[in-house]
Amino acid sequence: MDGELVESRSERKWMTTALDDSTTHQPRARVALSAALASRPAHAYLFQGPRGSGKRAAARAFAAEILASAAEDAEDARRRALLNPSPHPDLVWLAPSGSQHLVEEIRERVIRAASYRPFEGGKRVFVVEAAEAMRDESQNALLKTLEEPPDFVHLVLLTSEPATLLETVASRCQAVDFAPLPVEAVEAALEGGPPQEVAAAARLAAGSPDVARFLLSERGRTLRAHSFALAAAALGAPNESAPEGTQQAAWKALLSDAESVGAYAETLAREALDEQTAAGIKRSAREIVDEAKRVGRRRRTAVLDLGLALCAAWFRDLAATASGAVDLAFNRDRVAELEAQASSLDPGSARRAAELVQDTRRRLDLNVSEELALEALFFRLERALS
């Protein structure tokens, strides 16, 4: 009896290793998912949290444990489920085509497939990555499967934008929250680059390794420079990216950066969609163009928002530096510039400037004119900092 108990505990410790590893920096998610595996997993989960927070890895580990729990050879089932891509026939992983999940794919690969008995073992797991890419038609089609799935089916939806999901979809799932990764984890995920620049990117990335990697790329470095130039122009300080007297160029440069990245993303999306069409996925030429444009617009919006976030972080750092706390600055690689600009700056004015930038980010969420919003921001910054 004692030997069986030791073996059982040893097996349980081994089988949760992948889940523990994938949720190292997500204690709340680890507790929730471990408790579910220890009892009986629900039929539908919504893993929600920012990009780069580990939702994908946790979903794969969670699915592997569900499949292993109902398999004759648990170790083999777990091993195959953890592979990416996975050869396990009862793990269906659905990523969006372009910027959205096609309703035909949701119906064929999830709704219809969920009615089939497991190919092996006793469970089937369906993971829908980037669930926010499902349009209302796709979400409505999925409702009945979420509400009344077969006993052997478990669905896991991943999203970084839970507010975009229909309430009827979200309410049928058990939510598992993922927080932004701590700075140390983001920094550890980065490779190469000057140490101070890497440290700055990790702190400016808001918990996302993907954003940090972008900031260390050529396009990311340009965006950073232009966000600093906007702040410098509002302060009336000379800057390489926007010399004194070219204030309007400062905010226009941010728009240009966003448009450039968006155009590149659109080109890549069009090429990927063309390849899928050649492989047999039916799309008209108009659908390919429209879908690629949607991808480009989303990327453009995300980059413009990031540029403003960087500008707000600069003003936040100026406030800290002016208060004698430069060691708290995110922009660790630009301390000399911070100290020069903060030498005669009121910390309260810098904090107010950061608030104005954040307010503009919220306004852009309401689809106001980007050019008008940025122009208005610049004049409001000048007044706040005068």
Q: Return the CATH number of 2-177, one of 3.40.50.300, 2.60.40.1180, 3.10.20.30, 2.40.110.10.
A: 3.40.50.300
When pLDDT is cut at 50, 70 and 90, the band that residue 8 belongs to is very low
pLDDT value for 16: 55
What percentage of the chain's residues is helix, strand, coil (to nearest 5)? 65, 10, 25
pLDDT digits (tens, 9 = 90+) for 108-158: 999 999 999 999 999 999 999 999 989 899 999 999 999 999 999 999 999
pLDDT digits (tens, 9 = 90+) for 62-83: 999 999 999 999 999 999 999 9
CA 271, CA 268: separation in Å to the nearest integer? Answer: 5
CB 158 within 8 A of CB 131: yes
Which distant-in-sequence residues (6+ apart) come within 8 Å of 192 by Cβ? 198, 216
Question: Domain spans of the chain?
Answer: 2-177, 217-385
| pTM: predicted TM-score of the whole model, two decimal places | 0.79
CB 351 within 8 A of CB 204: no
Which residue, 295, 308, 225, 228, is CA-closest to 264? 295
| Burial per residue of 22-36, b for 16 or more beta-carbon CB atoms within 10 angstroms, e otherwise | bbebbeebbebbbeb
Q: Which long-range contacts (CB under 8 A, 24 or more apart) does 24-28 make?
A: 24/185, 25/54, 25/179, 25/181, 25/182, 25/185, 26/53, 26/54, 26/58, 26/178, 26/179, 28/177, 28/179
